[in-house]
Amino acid sequence: MPQVAALYRYPVKGFTPESVTELLVRSDGRIAGDRVLAFRFAEAADPEDRDGLEYWPKAKGLALQDFPSLAALRLSYDEGARRVRITATGREAASDAGRVLVDAGLDPAGRAALASAVAEHLLDGPEGGRLRRTGRLPLALVGDGAHSRFQDRPRGYVSVHGSGSVAALGSAVGGGVDHRRFRSNIVIDGLPAWEELRWSGRVRIGGLVFRTEGPIVRCLATHANPDTGVRDLRVLTTLTRELGQEEPTLGRLLLPEGSAPARAGTPEGAVALGVIRLGDVVEVL
């Protein structure tokens, strides 16, 4: 029987995932603690005044598809203390544990320190020229650190993929592929390759029932090695050319039954629907 093999949430958009043993699903279809912070560009509109859109388009701030070296940073978020710690890995780190770039809270001074440290890291790297483009600096860290606002889509979704699909992609490229490249909330073992793309109707995961929504068309974020931040794998063309897909697709979106679209200024009003845990059984209804 297919079951949940890994669970992730992403406290800061575009940065390190947090591996967890359970996820709390909310009534707006989003995961509690997921994408609660984001680094926006200076020219971007204020996140509290977005004409009713409770999401954060990739073009408005730092995203992995344009800044792959973000993957080489390790971010931890203390939700209770509202504190972010970012360390650098790889060649620039002084040890295997990494070099601390910044450790600060979400008060104005802390946000400024976090934004400055991330900007300095990127400016010294291969994407420095991209960050120097007009209107991008200074960066600002936005979000209250509690409410999920910064998904890529106006509608909140839970994202899922099967480990069998990632293994099939690995076979096509001639080596193992790390499933973290796909930044899903839920990874499922026990599904045949691409089976999740064939789902239709309703799916039960543990005690929650979801409606199947669209497949996830992938972007350049998947090319970034999740440890080094180097684009070292051509995922998109492998999916389309070698595996014959019309669009580069891996994984799909789910909406919990009973969810309602988020409205402007109301993510704070979303309530808990239930919890997904490691080992939960997955069943197509």
Domain assignment of residue 137, yes or no = yes
Arithmetic mean of pLDDT, 110-128: 96
For residues 128 and 25, state if they share a domain.
no
pLDDT at residue 178, rounded to an integer: 95
Strands 22-26 and 272-277: antiparallel
Domain boundary among 142, 166, 182: 142
**pLDDT band per the 50, 70, 90 thresholds, residue 208:** very high
Domain boundary among 105, 120, 142: 142
DSSP 70-83: GGGEEEEEETTTTE
Whether omega for the bond prior to residue 256 falls within 30 degrees of 0, making it cis, is: no
Domain assignment of residue 176, yes or no = yes
- pLDDT exceeds 50 at position 92: no
For residues 245 and 270, state if they share a domain.
yes
Arithmetic mean of pLDDT, 145-152: 86
CA gap 30, 58 in Å, rounded: 18
For residues 87 and 160, state if they share a domain.
no
- pLDDT exceeds 90 at position 231: yes
- pLDDT exceeds 90 at position 275: yes
pLDDT at residue 94, rounded to an integer: 42
Task: State the first-to-last Cα distance of the chain, in angstroms, to the nearest integer.
Answer: 13
Domain assignment of residue 147, yes or no = no
pLDDT for 234-260, tens place per residue? 999 999 999 999 999 999 999 998 766
Whole-model pTM: value is: 0.91
For residues 95 and 170, state if they share a domain.
no
For residues 8 and 96, state if they share a domain.
no
pLDDT at residue 180, rounded to an integer: 95
For residues 105 and 229, state if they share a domain.
no
Whether the CB-CB separation of 251 and 215 falls below 8 Å is answered with yes
* Mean per-residue pLDDT of the chain: 89
Count: domains in the chain: 2
CA gap 72, 69 in Å, rounded: 6
For residues 277 and 168, state if they share a domain.
yes
Domain assignment of residue 80, yes or no = yes
For residues 159 and 132, state if they share a domain.
no
pLDDT at residue 53, rounded to an integer: 44
- pLDDT exceeds 70 at position 68: yes
Alpha carbon separation from 278 to 19, 181, 271 (Å, rounded): 11, 20, 22
pLDDT for 9-67, tens place per residue? 999 999 989 999 999 999 888 899 999 999 999 988 565 554 444 556 778 899 999 99
- pLDDT exceeds 60 at position 264: no
Whether the CB-CB separation of 156 and 28 falls below 8 Å is answered with yes
Arithmetic mean of pLDDT, 267-285: 88
For residues 276 and 170, state if they share a domain.
yes
For residues 61 and 171, state if they share a domain.
no
Domain boundary among 123, 142, 161: 142
Arithmetic mean of pLDDT, 176-197: 96
pLDDT at residue 267, rounded to an integer: 59
Domain enclosing residue 54, as ranges: 38-142
Arithmetic mean of pLDDT, 103-122: 97
For residues 159 and 262, state if they share a domain.
yes
Domain assignment of residue 119, yes or no = yes
- Reference 274, options 205, 183, 201, 189; nearest CA is 205
